[in-house]
A and B are shown apart, each in its own frame.
Chain A
């Protein structure tokens, strides 16, 4: 579909919410016609795509561009984010990552030592994930034509059986691998200069090892990394694609006190902001406790918890049972309320 009139791209179009869905639905998916090379392609809008028949296994391919302001923030930086984001997209597809690419666009005038620090951080994160960067590209733009740096990483992984974000059944348990809202709220706290006793830290981390542990510990039926739009966007996407209902219990969702503090102060829900080192995992009721137990043995999964269950009630919707006992829909946010954080 070609846009008529004066419609312009706004920040919210890239924010991972409903506005972005409209952009992708109306302008991307409607334009391109050749959109898959295997079972999961562009139309599935999953975290990655698959190409079957790789020595009897399935190749999983994904790509992600990263812009963040500031470049360095408590708990991470754009380099760590760029590696983790792509590794995690592969990991939630049930794939073991094989290799990454790195493509950077830099603004004229960026200090070389800033670039070096970013590369060093990418190197360290790759080492954590056990991932090589095997090819790359560098472009420099004239001053003012881009804000300092943008990094695109693509990743390829391999899976015996890819885990789509909709393959679960009623009765399956909903697990989160740790506390929710850390990345988004840390960036808000840092940007706004809000000071508390506790400094919030982003949770940016590669999850491939952790999610392999989860897959090995039980019957994992769906996974998603709740980045832009947060837990609310992630769960809604899963509910929407599976045509099942998801019920979650507010009192069970792990949230750090200072995250809740910043959230109350500025009126942005922790469910609506990005996580960069957490995953939503669906597991069969019989193995969910085993999955949580295995996750908790790993430092990245120490706060893992069952937060709800898949139901047949209200297909496509997420229902939140609040702490005082009320019930309401938890809808996907229209966009990430905090632009340019991942």
Chain B
């Protein structure tokens, strides 16, 4: 069981398929998930691929794409006396001026939680207001929706910052200089939304999309299917992760999202506004919107920092090592841009797993 998904011989077979089909002009494949990037770099997958196969991470890191506006709002609320509950990865992300971590010495209360339920539990234990910084994609949205639909305590609210992946993939295809030939679609997100939302993208832009799992062989299998799809000019959507993903997704989770949230324009750090890519609270749930409750209206902050290559990295147009600050002025200990913060952030992953994963 243990090494089933890391078998060297099977890996060789899949690499053989990739070699057989890779076009001479090369191929650029984008995945949209920090956990995929971890599998790829941690296992040295790039060093196994034939030359000309370029694997990039797109806007798949929820921490990186959370706009400074939402972060600044959390910081403002913390200073007003609310307890901010956030995922550990969010703590070190630089906002316009500060990160949540910087608030510790001021005495403001910022608590790390592993899920929205942790934040609700916290709210039940204390009298102060608890505000959950609700970031993430379709994967975390159902949890937040479930919590809000089950009558949470009065002192609980959220900063709604959830985003949707398929519109971001489509927006990538609209960039003039992207040259994306295919996508590995995120396995976790797809457990919720299934594979159908990718069909219009594959059709409109003529790119194969394969939902991928998280073991090294899953990734190689997804790459093989995409390379074959490109070579045979068959831009279809395939489920390469059927042991976890149902082609139609999880209808109960989607209903919950639908009940609590409504789709609106989403603000992505480093990318800008993307149509229909954000989740705001429906009127029936507005009472849980922390920004409305505390009358906080943060302005759009400094989304792009000078000399920071995050926007290019997040849109698969640059790799971390092309950034002049990578590993020098920008490290996980002293992050300058958001892509250096957190386990799903590409620069962070490259730094952590050796800086040059194509070794």
Contacts and interface: CB of A to CB of B under 8 A. Distances in A.
Given A320-B44, A324-B11, A334 B353 contact: no
Interface stretch (A97-105, A293-301, A325-333): A325-333
A334 B355 CA distance: 13
Contact of B48 (A320, A324, A329): A324
B352 A327 contact: no
B interface bracket (residues with beta carbon within 8 Å of A): 20 to 34
A169 to B, nearest CB: 24
A42 to B, nearest CB: 23
Given A325-B11, A329-B356, A331-B351, A18 B2 contact: no
B197 interface: no
Interface string B329-359: 0011100000000010000000111111101
A329 B353 contact: yes
A257 interface: yes
A324 B6 contact: yes
A336 to B, nearest CB: 13
B123 interface: no
Given A323-B8, A329-B359, A333-B352, A18 B331 contact: yes
A325 B12 CA distance: 9
A101 B220 CA distance: 55
B3 A8 contact: no
A326 B105 contact: no
Contact of B6 (A17, A323, A333): A323
Contacts of A319: 359
A87 B343 CA distance: 35
Nearest to A267: B343
B48 A331 contact: no
B356 A324 contact: no
A251 B216 CA distance: 14
Contacts of A335: 333
Contact of B47 (A19, A257, A326, A333): A326
A328 B357 contact: yes
Interface in B282-329: none
A334 B331 contact: yes
A331 B355 contact: yes
A12 interface: yes
A131 interface: no
Given A257-B2, A319-B359, A328 B47 contact: yes
Given A260-B2, A267-B38, A322-B42, A327 B359 contact: yes
Contacts of A324: 6-8, 11, 43-45, 48, 216-217, 220
Nearest to A317: B354
Residue among A22, A322, A331 with max Cβ neighbours from chain B (10 Å)? A322
B43 A326 contact: yes
Interface string A303-342: 0000000000000000111111111111101110000000
Contacts of A326: 43-48, 216
B41 interface: yes
Given A257-B2, A319-B359, A323-B8, A330 B354 contact: yes
Interface in B167-214: none
Contact of A327 (B8, B11, B44, B331): B44
Nearest to A272: B352
A328 B41 contact: yes
Interface in A98-122: none
Given A320-B44, A322-B42, A331 B352 contact: yes
Nearest to B48: A326
Nearest to B327: A331
A156 B166 CA distance: 63
A329 B355 CA distance: 7
A331 B348 CA distance: 12
A257 B3 CA distance: 11
A329 B354 CA distance: 4
Interface in B112-137: none
Contact of B354 (A8, A17, A321, A331): A331
B312 to A, nearest CB: 23
Nearest to A13: B333
B355 A325 contact: no
A319 B333 CA distance: 23
Contacts of A321: 44
B105 A8 contact: yes
B116 to A, nearest CB: 17
A89 to B, nearest CB: 25
Nearest to A326: B44
Nearest to A333: B352
Contact of A328 (B3, B11, B216, B354): B354
A322 B42 CA distance: 8
A322 B359 contact: no
Contacts of B2: 257, 260
A227 to B, nearest CB: 20
A307 to B, nearest CB: 16
Interface string A1-32: 00000001000100001110010000000000
B48 A334 contact: no
B343 A331 contact: no
A16 to B, nearest CB: 13
Nearest to B38: A267
B191 to A, nearest CB: 17
Interface string B10-48: 011000000000000000000000000010011111111
A12 B43 contact: no
B358 to A, nearest CB: 9
A5 to B, nearest CB: 13
Interface of A: 8, 12, 17-19, 22, 251, 257, 260, 267, 269, 319-331, 333-335
5 contacts: A324-B8, A324-B220, A329-B355, A331-B352, A333-B352
Given A322-B216, A324-B216, A326-B44, 13 more contacts: A17-B333, A257-B2, A323-B3, A323-B8, A323-B43, A324-B6, A324-B220, A325-B11, A325-B48, A326-B216, A328-B353, A328-B357, A330-B354
The 4 closest A-B pairs by CB, nearest first: A326-B44, A329-B354, A328-B44, A323-B6
